[in-house]
Amino acid sequence: MTIGFAPPLTASESMVKAFYKDEYATIELDESIPCIKLTLNGVPRYSEHYNFVQMKRLELMRQEIRNYPKLHMLTDSRTAGPVLDEDVAYFRGHVMPEMEKAGVRYLAIVMPSSKFTQLTIREMIGEVTIMKVQFFDSIRDARHWLRKMTLL
C-alpha cells in the first residue's frame, strides 16, 4: 500500500482564497499583498447582477479589513466589457464611497484593450478624493504597485 501526497501549493496559490465566482466575476482574497481581487469577464447579465457582484466584493472587504488594516483593491478588467450608465453611477455613488469609508486607500485596475471600456472605467472612478487609483496594463505591475503601497 502506498500513500500519495498532493503536490505542495506554491506560495501564490496558498495565499489566494476564493470567495465568489460566476460567469462574469471572480472575487478572491490575495493575502500576499493583501488585496481583494475582482476579475471581470464580459458583461454582467443585467444591472442587478453587476450590483450583486459589487456587494459581494464589499462583503469580503468588510469581513477582511479587520484582519488587514492596509487592505487594497485590485480589479482585473482585461476581458471586461462596458457596463450601463446606471452601473457607472452605482459604482461612483455607492461602491467607491463604501471602500473609502472602510479604509481602503489603493485601487489598482488592469485595463482592457477596448478604448470604449477604458473610458467607462475612467468614468466610474470619477473624482476620488481619498483613494489613490492607478491603471495598469498587466496584473504583475498592478500587484507590484500594491505591494509597494502596503510598505508605506
Q: What is the pLDDT of residue 7?
A: 46
* 4: Cβ contacts below 8 Å, ≥ 6 apart: none
Mean pLDDT for the stretch of residues 22-48: 97
pLDDT band at residue 147, thresholds of 50, 70 and 90? Answer: very high
Q: What is the pLDDT of residue 14?
A: 62
pLDDT band at residue 6, thresholds of 50, 70 and 90? Answer: very low
Mean pLDDT for the stretch of residues 12-23: 83
Which of these, 3, 2, 43, lies nearest to 23 by C-alpha position?
Answer: 43
- How many Cα atoms sit within 13 Å of 18 on the Cβ side? 6
Which of these, 70, 2, 82, 3, lies nearest to 30 by C-alpha position?
Answer: 70
16-151 maps to CATH 3.30.70.330? no
pLDDT, tens only, 88-137:
999 999 999 999 999 999 999 999 999 999 999 999 998 788 999 999 99
Q: Tell me how far apart the alpha carbons of residues 63 and 82 are, in angstroms, rounded to a whole number.
A: 28
- Listed by start position, the domains of the chain span 16-151
Q: How many angstroms separate the first and last alpha carbons of the chain?
A: 53
